[in-house]
């Protein structure tokens, strides 16, 4: 019987400290919980007040236009949208084949192409072209 008493006492002793630790941890957490949100709320306000405002980059409205068959799928893509193959969709408002879109661009030079029915084309109205890494040409737009 002494063995059973010893076995019974050990689990009780093991459970008691575990419960005590849990209670102590809960108390510590409960004591810290109100402090943490106050500190978190104060930090963003202080950071926002001290952070210098970034200068606003002025953009210029640039109109891209190209003629294509009415009903064509036309877009423009270039440096300004990381050469997204879907491009920026252009519209033919009158249905006469004159597609256009306006973009706001910061000052600088931009290479671009039109995508007409999934075919990449240079801008026939642009006089400034540069060779690209694919062995074809890109149109160049200078925004001042």
The answer to whether residues 64 and 90 touch, using CB atoms and an 8 Å cutoff, is yes
pTM metric for this prediction: 0.61
Is 80 exceeded by the pLDDT of residue 44?
no
Does 116 score more than 60 pLDDT? yes
CATH number for the domain that contains residue 137: 2.60.40.10
Q: Is residue 55 part of a domain?
A: no
Q: How far is CA 122 from CA 20, 35, 59, 130, 137, in A?
A: 76, 62, 24, 10, 7
For residues 128 and 88, membership in a common domain is answered with yes
Collapse the DSSP code of 89 into the 3-class scheme (helix H, G, I; strand E, B; otherwise coil) and give the result: strand
SS3 107: coil
Q: Please state at what angle helix 35-50 crosses helix 2-32, rounded to 10 degrees.
A: 30
Q: Count up the domains in the chain and report the number.
A: 2
Q: Provide the pLDDT confidence category of residue 89 given band limits of 50, 70 and 90.
A: very high
């Amino acid at each position: 019987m002494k063995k059973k008493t010893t076995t019974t006492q050990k689990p009780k002793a093991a459970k008691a400290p575990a419960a005590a630790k849990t209670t102590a941890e809960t108390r510590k957490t409960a004591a810290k919980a109100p402090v943490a949100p106050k500190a978190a709320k104060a930090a963003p306000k202080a950071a926002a007040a001290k952070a210098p405002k970034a200068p606003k980059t002025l953009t210029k409205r640039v109109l891209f236009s190209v003629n294509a068959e009415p009903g064509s799928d036309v877009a423009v893509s270039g440096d300004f949208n990381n050469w997204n193959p879907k491009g920026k969709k252009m519209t033919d408002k009158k249905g006469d084949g004159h597609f256009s879109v306006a973009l706001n661009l910061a000052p600088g030079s931009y290479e671009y192409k039109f995508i007409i029915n999934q075919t990449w084309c240079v801008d026939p109205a642009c006089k400034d072209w540069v060779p690209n890494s694919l062995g074809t040409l890109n149109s160049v737009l200078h925004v001042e």
